[in-house]
A and B are shown apart, each in its own frame.
Chain A
Amino acid sequence: MILQVNDVVSGYGDMDILHGISIEVNQGEIVSIVGPNGSGKSTTLKTIFGLVNLKQGEILYYGDSINQNTPDQLVGLGLSFVPQSDNVFPSLTVHENLEMGAFISKTNKKYRFDLIYDLFPPLKEKRKTQAGNLSGGQRQMVAFGRALIMEPELLLLDEPTAGLSPLYIDMILDKVAEINKETGVSVLMVEQNAKKALKMSDRGYVLAAGQKKYEDTGQALLNNEEVAQLFLGG
Chain B
Amino acid sequence: MVLLLQLISNGIILGCIIALGSIGLSLLYGILKFGNFAHGDMMTLGAYFAFLFKVQLGMPMWAAFVLAMLLTAFVAVIVDQVIYKSLRKSDSIILLIASVGIALILRNFIQLIWGPQNHFYDKGIQMPIQLGLGVRVKPNQILILVVTVALVIFVHLFLTKTKMGKAMRAMSDNMDLAKVTGINTEQVIKWTWVLGAVLTAAAGILLGIDTHLLPSMGWNLLLPLFAATILGGIGSPYGAMLGGLVIGVSQELSTLVIPPTYKPGVAFLIMLLMLLIKPTGLMGRSV
Contacts and interface: CB of A to CB of B under 8 A. Distances in A.
A81 B180 contact: yes
23 contacts: A51-B176, A51-B180, A70-B179, A71-B180, A72-B182, A72-B183, A81-B180, A83-B176, A88-B177, A89-B170, A89-B174, A89-B177, A90-B285, A91-B173, A91-B285, A92-B166, A92-B173, A96-B169, A100-B178, A100-B181, A104-B182, A146-B181, A150-B182
Interface in A93-125: 96-97, 99-101, 103-104, 108
B166 A96 contact: yes
A49 B177 contact: no
Interface in B145-204: 163, 166-167, 169-170, 172-174, 176-185
Given A72-B179, A86-B177, A92-B173, A104 B184 contact: yes
Interface in A50-66: 51
A91 B163 CA distance: 15
Sorted from nearest, which 7 A-B pairs have the closest CB atoms?
A75-B182, A89-B173, A89-B170, A72-B182, A103-B183, A104-B182, A71-B179
A87 interface: yes
A51 B185 CA distance: 14
A96 B178 CA distance: 12
B163 A99 contact: yes
B166 A101 contact: no
Given A72-B182, A89-B174, 9 more contacts: A51-B176, A72-B179, A72-B184, A83-B180, A86-B174, A89-B169, A100-B181, A103-B163, A103-B184
A76 interface: yes
A71 B176 CA distance: 10
Contacts of B173: 89-92
Given A91-B169, A92-B169, A96-B166, A76 B177 contact: no
Q: How large is the interface on A (under 10, 10 to 19, 20 to 34, 35 or more residues)?
A: 20 to 34
A182 B220 CA distance: 61
Nearest to A86: B174
Contact of A103 (B172, B176, B182, B285): B182
Contacts of A70: 179
A122 B176 CA distance: 26
A74 B179 CA distance: 11
Contacts of B177: 83, 86-89
Given A89-B174, A91-B169, A92-B169, A101 B180 contact: no
A49 B169 contact: no
B167 to A, nearest CB: 6
Contacts of A83: 176-177, 180
Residue with the greatest number of chain A CB neighbours at <10 A, chosen from B170, B172, B185? B170
Given A72-B184, A91-B285, A100 B170 contact: yes
Contacts of A81: 180
A71 B174 contact: no
Interface in A114-152: 146, 150
B33 to A, nearest CB: 16
A103 B172 CA distance: 16
A90 B169 CA distance: 10
